[in-house]
Chains A and B, each alone.
Chain A
Amino acid sequence: MLNRRLLLAASAAAPLAPALAQTPPGVIVMAKQIDDIITLDPGECFEFTGSEICGNVYQKLVTTPNSNPSQLVGELAESWEAGAGGKTFTFRLKQGAKFSSGNPVTAEDAAWSLQRAVILNKSPAFIINQFGFTKDNVAQRIRATDPRTLVMETAEQTSLPFLLYCLSAVVGSVVEKAAALPKAQGDDLGNAWLKQNSAGSGPFMLRAWRASDSVTLEANPNATDKPATRRIIMRHTADPSAQLLGLQRGDADIARNLSDDIIKQVIAEGKFGVHKQRKAALLYLALNQKNPNLARPEVKQAIKLAIDYEGIARNITPNTWAVHQAFLPEGLPGALTEKPFSRKIDEARKLMADAGLADGFEMSFDYASTWPVSDIAQAVQANLADLKIRLRMQPGESRAVITKVRARQHDMSVSRWGSDYLDPHSNAETFSINIDNADDARNRTTAWRSSWLIPELSARVMEALRESDPEKRAQMYIDIQREHQRTSPFVIMLQEIEVWTSRPGVTGIDTGPMNDRNRWKSLAKA
């Protein structure tokens, strides 16, 4: 049967056409799926591509270098300090930072940007709001006391690293008030205008965004650190094969969404550069504790021991997902890299027998019908069949699966989770907090969705959240993850790997675990 793979094989076998074309000098073209962009307003943006763009157009008070993602460094702030009681925080801004308009970045701009994120209350606002800011108190609690000093007062005692990691998220970006506010429509604080325009101090500024077509960015002439490339163009190329062709023909310098089989072929040919980065995203099985069989500790453990993690990663996703078994992905502070589970089928069968389920049982299995999840689901089905667990396969559109899991109507599901911000609490909260297991509970974390009631573990997570000593805090998360591995109804299997494939001569690829840390400042081509 003629398929895409065969076509690519034919492509690789045939001699290349005349001379390869080149993108213009000083311009980097990325072939990428960009139809996830909803907005480019940093106060609202929460999608993969949009976050990456905002991360290169705006600056935050603090950030983390990709060489050491746990280290907090000042981006616009030169220093910060916590007041006595851990509720007041003072930031001193660097001198010399300028917006693309040429105006200096002031504490007033920073305070207004954080205030507008709280007032707009869009999807990422909870990252800031969790410190007790509301639209009624934020003007009082986040304020500029002089052009270079910003003061922030949290509602409760707050761990400084936690606050800083949250401020390093895209929602903490600093927007030029004088550029955005005059463009406000009604009370939108410039939200509609910033969807398609920029007012930042990052290395690039937005020139145009055409939905499902392209994004064009120009170098910010007033940036503190001048970028190595004058223009970056992202072109929407949905099909991975078309991305590869673009790379081969020289119409693209970097391809961002090649599929695993194509990456394998590219690596084998050795013509293009392949850059890999572990992302803060996990693929895991969730076992609903409402199912009495899945609530048995032996069954949870048996399932964890029946999965062939290495086999799945090696055979299905050798380049795009790697084995990882704790709720903090590698690259995040406090991540646990131990892999206590491997396929031990005899041990798993014994556990099933101990639970009185030697003959197995039947349950439903919900999963997204897209690659690679569909292939992984089939592997899991085969693995669990060895325990006589019969899975009723229920493939669906990913949002349909999410809807079902949020309603706790699943037995077992496979889901993807990406961290919202770099602090360990982002994942710890969702995987390890559930103190109200009622159907109408207010806080519906991932633990709640699996009906896993854990008041004690939840208390430990909150204790870690309040800890100010970074080393002690990291150790607390390590301990929580070990406990989580032992007892939780989550079989964390894989961590996502982002792959950039580039033409020879492309240099300066600098990527991080979060999308906004994919930095283009040094991107250049010979």
Chain B
Amino acid sequence: MKALAASAASIPITLFGLVLVTFFIGRVMPIDPVIAIVGDRAPQDVVEQTRAALGLDQPLYVQFVTYVGQLLRGDLGRSVMTSNTVGQDILTFFPATFELATTAIVLAALIGIPLGVLAAVKQGSLVDQAVRVFSLIGHSLPIFVLALLSLLVFYARLGIAPGPGRQGIVYQDMVDIRTGVLTLDAALAGDWGAFWDAVAHLAQPACVLAFFSLAYIARMTRAFMLNELRSEYVITARAKGLSSTRIIWRHAFGNVAVPMVTILALTYAGLLEGAVLTETIFAWPGLGQYLTVSLLNADMNAVLGATLVVGLIYVALNLLADTLYRLLDPRVR
């Protein structure tokens, strides 16, 4: 409990460090943020007025103190790119990423973990080799190639998957947005046509991301399982005549589950951070795309806000992993 409290206490320090580094990197970029706001054509007096209005004519440390003050009041500032508050933007873009990442991690875990276990149990067999090749492909092929190949095969050639975007034309703007998670919103509205359309659009990018993630999950599961299967307690269990299923899933996997929590949490955090290339190719308006476009437009409030959210996600999932670790492994309680 004490260790958990210490972890929680380190969160503000981590976040402060994140804001500090991101803020100063943003300010020393060779791009004038005022140009991003008023445009290249604006008269010089408008440029200077805007610079003064935004406080960008102040020393860096004054700008930083002002920004942190705003943050403490819950004000992430306004995005130049969308004209909305950054808070509103994050509420708009993050649910799309959440929907995609959550589906992907669930798929990756459901397929990757059993594959890893199977490969370890059948070590050296054809199944093991197949899983290793499968994992290698998933982990080494660039994700944009996977995404384009997937579109080419399942959308363009076979015609069994819908194209890019979150909705078909028929359902465009037909669902009231409540949570931003389109499948959930369609279900809440009882519009099952829109629900299945959203599921169909979600399937392809989620499978691409899941393939990428499950390769890593399967490899790690295999490695952890091999380690456990060589342990003395497994040999003892076998000598006592326990069934293979019980030995593998109850005894060995029970111990593998502990480090796998960290693997899954970090993989999920990576997906929530925004899979930029996948989001771009599948025209998925998520946080990764928002962050990238903001960065290219020198929209520093948006970059800082989105980075902070990503940081919070990492910290929260790390804390969750720590907590689960302690619950699952009595040795670290």
Binding site for B on A (CB under 8 A): 2, 4, 7, 10-11, 14-18, 21, 23-24, 27, 29, 35, 38-39, 46, 121, 123, 126, 192, 195, 207-208, 210-214, 216, 233, 235-239, 241-242, 245-246, 248-249, 251, 396-397, 399-400, 402-404, 406, 420, 430, 441-444
Interface 1/0s, chain B 104-135, versus A by CB < 8 A? 00000000000000000000000000000000
Contacting pair B293 A406 (CB below 8 A): no
Contacting pair A24 B39 (CB below 8 A): no
Compute how far the CA of A399 lies from the CA of B45 in the bound complex, rounded to whole angstroms: 20
Contacting pair B293 A4 (CB below 8 A): no
Which B residues from 35 to 59 make CB contacts under 8 A with A? 35-36, 38-46
Whether a CB of chain A sits under 8 angstroms from the CB of B158 is yes
Contacting pair B35 A17 (CB below 8 A): no
Contacts of A24 in B (CB 8 A): 169-170
Please provide the 9 A-B residue pairs with the shortest distance between their CB atoms, ordered closest to farther: A17-B159, A213-B285, A403-B32, A251-B163, A400-B30, A399-B31, A212-B285, A208-B173, A211-B82
Partner of A123, one of B38, B163, B172: B38
Partner of A235, one of B80, B83, B165: B165
Compute how far the CA of A406 lies from the CA of B51 in the bound complex, rounded to whole angstroms: 15
Contacting pair A237 B80 (CB below 8 A): no
Contacting pair A237 B156 (CB below 8 A): no
Q: How far is the CB of A79 from chain B (nearest CB, A)?
A: 32
Contacting pair B169 A245 (CB below 8 A): no
Contacting pair A17 B156 (CB below 8 A): yes
Given contacts A237-B283, A442-B45, whether A399 and B36 have CB atoms under 8 Å apart is yes
Which has the most chain B C-beta neighbours within 10 Å: A46, A216, A237? A237
Given contacts A242-B163, A249-B163, whether A443 and B169 have CB atoms under 8 Å apart is no
Contacts of B170 in A (CB 8 A): 24
Chain A residue nearest to B144 (CB atoms) is: A4
Chain B residue nearest to A14 (CB atoms) is: B157
Contacts of B43 in A (CB 8 A): 126, 442-443
Given contacts A18-B159, A35-B293, A123-B39, whether A211 and B92 have CB atoms under 8 Å apart is yes
Whether a CB of chain A sits under 8 angstroms from the CB of B148 is yes
Chain B residue nearest to A211 (CB atoms) is: B82
Interface 1/0s, chain B 193-222, versus A by CB < 8 A? 000000000000000000000000000000
Compute how far the CA of A396 lies from the CA of B30 in the bound complex, rounded to whole angstroms: 9
Which B residues from 16 to 46 make CB contacts under 8 A with A? 29-32, 35-36, 38-46
Compute how far the CA of A35 lies from the CA of B280 in the bound complex, rounded to whole angstroms: 11
Q: How far is the CB of A150 from chain B (nearest CB, A)?
A: 26
Given contacts A245-B151, A406-B32, whether A216 and B159 have CB atoms under 8 Å apart is no
Contacts of A403 in B (CB 8 A): 30-32, 35
The majority secondary structure among interface residues of chain A is: mixed
Q: How large is the interface on B (under 10, 10 to 19, 20 to 34, 35 or more residues)?
A: 35 or more
Q: How far is the CB of B82 from chain A (nearest CB, A)?
A: 5
Compute how far the CA of A29 lies from the CA of B170 in the bound complex, rounded to whole angstroms: 11
Whether a CB of chain A sits under 8 angstroms from the CB of B152 is yes
Q: How far is the CB of B88 from chain A (nearest CB, A)?
A: 10
Contacting pair B44 A211 (CB below 8 A): no
Given contacts A11-B156, A249-B163, 20 further A-B contacts (CB under 8 A): A17-B157, A17-B158, A35-B289, A39-B83, A46-B41, A123-B41, A126-B42, A126-B43, A195-B83, A210-B285, A213-B165, A241-B281, A245-B152, A245-B164, A396-B30, A399-B35, A399-B36, A399-B297, A403-B31, A420-B41
Contacts of B158 in A (CB 8 A): 17
Given contacts A123-B39, A239-B280, whether A214 and B31 have CB atoms under 8 Å apart is no
Whether a CB of chain A sits under 8 angstroms from the CB of B296 is yes
Contacting pair B281 A212 (CB below 8 A): no
Which B residues from 282 to 325 make CB contacts under 8 A with A? 282-283, 285, 289-290, 293, 296-298
Compute how far the CA of A18 lies from the CA of B156 in the bound complex, rounded to whole angstroms: 10
Contacts of A207 in B (CB 8 A): 173
Compute how far the CA of A222 lies from the CA of B211 in the bound complex, rounded to whole angstroms: 51
Whether a CB of chain A sits under 8 angstroms from the CB of B187 is no
Partner of A213, one of B40, B45, B46, B166: B166
Contacting pair B173 A242 (CB below 8 A): no
Contacting pair B173 A239 (CB below 8 A): no
Contacts of A430 in B (CB 8 A): 41
Contacts of B39 in A (CB 8 A): 46, 123
Chain B residue nearest to A420 (CB atoms) is: B41
Contacts of A211 in B (CB 8 A): 81-82, 84, 89, 92-93, 285
Whether a CB of chain A sits under 8 angstroms from the CB of B145 is yes
Contacting pair A400 B285 (CB below 8 A): no
Contacts of A246 in B (CB 8 A): 163-164
Contacts of A46 in B (CB 8 A): 39, 41
Contacting pair B36 A239 (CB below 8 A): no
Q: How far is the CB of B34 from chain A (nearest CB, A)?
A: 9
Contacting pair B148 A236 (CB below 8 A): no
Contacts of A123 in B (CB 8 A): 38-39, 41-42
Whether a CB of chain A sits under 8 angstroms from the CB of B155 is yes
Chain A residue nearest to B154 (CB atoms) is: A17
Contacts of A212 in B (CB 8 A): 93, 285, 289-290, 293
Chain A residue nearest to B40 (CB atoms) is: A402
Q: How far is the CB of A192 from chain B (nearest CB, A)?
A: 8
Partner of B83, one of A29, A38, A396: A38
Chain B residue nearest to A242 (CB atoms) is: B164
Given contacts A46-B39, A195-B83, A444-B44, whether A404 and B30 have CB atoms under 8 Å apart is yes
Contacts of B40 in A (CB 8 A): 402, 406
Contacting pair B165 A216 (CB below 8 A): no
Partner of A399, one of B159, B166, B285, B298: B298
Whether a CB of chain A sits under 8 angstroms from the CB of B149 is yes
Contacting pair B159 A249 (CB below 8 A): yes
Contacts of A11 in B (CB 8 A): 152, 156-157
Contacts of B172 in A (CB 8 A): 214, 216, 233
Contacts of A236 in B (CB 8 A): 283, 285
Partner of A400, one of B29, B42, B81, B163: B29
Compute how far the CA of A402 lies from the CA of B282 in the bound complex, rounded to whole angstroms: 31
Chain B residue nearest to A409 (CB atoms) is: B30
Q: How far is the CB of A48 from chain B (nearest CB, A)?
A: 12
18 A-B Cβ contacts within 8 A? A16-B156, A17-B158, A17-B159, A21-B159, A35-B293, A211-B285, A216-B173, A235-B164, A237-B283, A238-B280, A238-B281, A242-B281, A245-B156, A249-B155, A399-B32, A399-B35, A399-B297, A430-B41
Q: How far is the CB of B86 from chain A (nearest CB, A)?
A: 12
Compute how far the CA of A235 lies from the CA of B172 in the bound complex, rounded to whole angstroms: 10
